Structure 1
Amino acid sequence: MDIALFDDYNQLTEEDSAWMTDLLQFSAERLAIPSHAEISVSIVTNDKIREINREYRQKDSVTDVISFALEDEDDIFSSLDMDEEDIPRDLGDIFISYDKAVEQAKDYGHSTKRELGFLLVHGFLHLNGYDHMTEEEEKEMFSLQERILSDYGLRRET
């Protein structure tokens, strides 16, 4: 999977960028996402994510992660005279507030790395059709999210 990671806030080390990319690849393998898929992730400030939240979701508040999926469940290739493998799948964009991740890590008593990983996987699952609007959806999504994080080695105590 092609991953574009943008650190608009200049908070990530090279090591952070490496494990975040690796976690997304790991998640993509778990979901059997084709290797020709694309995704972008931006690490932003509270002010920037608030601006995005206000503009696109009409919520004038800071949030931790926002995902913008570019595909829906319909087959976007059905009307094209091409093989699906010929066209990169642009899954969408994830925006994560670094400040909010640090704050939530302290609140939950785990590392900033664990919180960033949680938000990254959460946003990635949203891009791939998972949601938590109903109790059943929430159980499915959060269970998968915890399995991915745990199997990757980002447990709550880290």
Structure 2
Amino acid sequence: MPKPKRSRIWIVVADGARARFFMPSEDLKKFVAAQQADMVAPESRGHARDLESDKPGRSYASSRSGVRHAVEPAHDPHKLEKHHFSVALAKMLDGACRRREFDQLILVAPRRSLGELRGLMSARVQRCLQKEVAKDLTKETVSGLWRRLGPLVKPAP
């Protein structure tokens, strides 16, 4: 009798600037790197001054006062870069899901990143989403990830 086809599970460990992709090994004893290369957005880890093109404009505080103040930018450059990264990650996951590179997805990210990704993911990817873990584990070792997340992929005894 042929062996039933095992699910292709991806574990995505992400934050606003980095995403790592893993799969359980064949023997379900460790995580191995998925075919997808890690994604990194180094600009979102930099200083805000490095993300802006130049100094903000200046304006007068009031018509009677001669005091001028710098105009605050309309957005936080770090948040904007993290949003761009989340959009890119959601698009990549949609493409991988469409190519059937995974059929189950476990998403591990800080609470804020999870919320943003949830809103950006396509319906196709959301159907594959099996579990969300609200933690920042992007700097965790592979063995540490297995200790924390391995029980999520092991079949129940």
Q: Radius of gyration: which is bigger?
A: 2
Q: Same fold (TM over 0.5)?
A: no
Higher strand proportion (structure 1 or 2): 2
Q: Which has the higher contact order (CA 8 A, sep 6+)?
A: 2
**TM-score relative to the length of structure 1:** 0.29
Higher helix proportion (structure 1 or 2): 1
**TM-score relative to the length of structure 2:** 0.29
